[in-house]
Chain A
Amino acid sequence: GAGVSQTPSNKVTEKGKYVELRCDPISGHTALYWYRQSLGQGPEFLIYFQGTGAADDSGLPNDRFFAVRPEGSVSTLKIQRTERGDSAVYLCASSMGPGRANTGELFFGEGSRLTVL
């Protein structure tokens, strides 16, 4: 499809395990964002990529969280030693270029729901 694609849509894992969540942005979009949405809360910013580089990772909660975008397209969010508090929906968004949050031109995927038992 033409939208932002996220896989898996659902992931159940055990405490302490390693998890990878994938985001495939809209073709041609150079900016990519990860957000986390906990139950009953709005999405919270995690990290923003412009091209291959993480331009702003100020929202990553701790060093168990890491994200890459090696070729400037697909991105993977990696969570090590998962904890129950990591359970949330992880949202990915993309935009044509930087600064597009100001104009609302962010396109969101449906999210990956992570449950840590």
Chain B
Amino acid sequence: GNSVTQMEGPVTLSEEAFLTINCTYTATGYPSLFWYVQYPGEGLQLLLKATKADDKGSNKGFEATYRKETTSFHLEKGSVQVSDSAVYFCALSGDSGNKLVFGAGTILRVKS
């Protein structure tokens, strides 16, 4: 079945450091890939997405590229801020388009 594996956290960085959170997936067909973010006290929200191979999703300085050859969708940001502290989830959509499969989540802590 479909699955997502992402790097374990917590990841602790200083402000303005470079961020990478690794995500790899196993899927049948051609899923869409997503990064969702959960800020403290808030619901999950979509951060960025890519719907086909080689697409790059980007938002708020974050970006991720859909790499079919390595089945990866790593999240990167060039310079993190304290306000980026949150839990980040990598996810893919199932064939029906009505079901998301999530990774376990990675806690990011950014210190000033």
The residues of A with any CB-CB pair to B shorter than 8 Å are: 3-4, 31, 33, 35, 40-45, 48, 50, 55-56, 59, 91, 93, 98-111
**A98 vs B97: C-alpha distance when bound (angstroms):** 7
Shortest Cβ-Cβ A-B pairs, 10 listed: A42-B102, A99-B97, A102-B97, A108-B44, A108-B43, A104-B49, A101-B93, A104-B46, A110-B43, A102-B93
Residues of chain B having any CB pair with chain A under 8 Å = 4, 32, 34, 41-46, 49, 51, 89, 91, 93-94, 96-105
**For the complex, what is the distance from the CA of A100 to the CA of B98, rounded to whole Å?**
6
B100 touches A111 (CB 8 A): no
What are some 19 contacts across the A-B interface (CB < 8 A)? A4-B43, A31-B98, A40-B105, A42-B89, A43-B102, A48-B99, A56-B96, A56-B99, A93-B44, A98-B97, A99-B96, A101-B96, A101-B97, A101-B98, A103-B51, A105-B46, A106-B46, A110-B41, A110-B43
